[in-house]
Amino acid sequence: EVQLVQSGAEVKKPGESLKISCQGSGYNFVSHWIGWVRQVPGKGLEWMGIIFPADSDTRYSPSFEGQVTISADKSINTAYLEWSSLKASDTAMYFCAKLERYQDAFDVWGQGSLVTVSS
């Protein structure tokens, strides 16, 4: 079974750093793009960016470029989303999801990681 399992909920203070993870199983992880999607409570889905684990080719939304870092460790089938200095406005649910190829829809989703940033 193809699965994406994300790390658990986090509560952080403004200015702190954070790295959340998404581990894939049941498919050839390195050969499929993985993306990150933000959902602020009560709001819609926002596409943040995608990475190709085989060579770490990464594409960002202009809205998120410079605000987060997307990376992957193909040796452990895991993608990451990282912040160096969190803001209260980063409070959201973050989903990872895989694509079959670059020009494709997200066919499998992780369960989501809730990030709460509060002083």
Partner 1 sequence: DIQMTQSPSSLSASLGDRVSITCRASETISDYLAWYQQKPGQVPKLLIFAASTLQSGVPSRFSGSGSGTDFTLTISGLQPEDVATYYCQKYDSAPQTFGQGTKVEIK
Q: Which residues bind partner 1 (CB under 8 A)?
A: 35, 37, 44-47, 49-50, 59-63, 95, 97, 99, 103-107, 109-112
The Cα–Cα gap between 19 and 11 comes to: 12
Residue with smaller CB distance to partner 1, 16 or 55 = 55
Residue with smaller CB distance to partner 1, 63 or 118 = 63
Listed in sequence order, the residues at least 6 apart from 80 whose beta carbon sits closer than 8 Å to its beta carbon are 19, 20, 21, 22, 69, 70, 71, 72, 73
Residue with smaller CB distance to partner 1, 73 or 100 = 100
Buried b (16+ CB within 10 A) or exposed e, 36-59: bbbeeeeeeeebbbbbbbeeeeee
> Least distance (Å) from partner 1 to the CB of residue 58?
10
> Least distance (Å) from partner 1 to the CB of residue 50?
7
> Least distance (Å) from partner 1 to the CB of residue 84?
22
What does the CA dihedral 80, 85, 39, 28 come to, rounded to 10 degrees?
Answer: -10
> Least distance (Å) from partner 1 to the CB of residue 79?
16
Residue with smaller CB distance to partner 1, 54 or 99 = 99
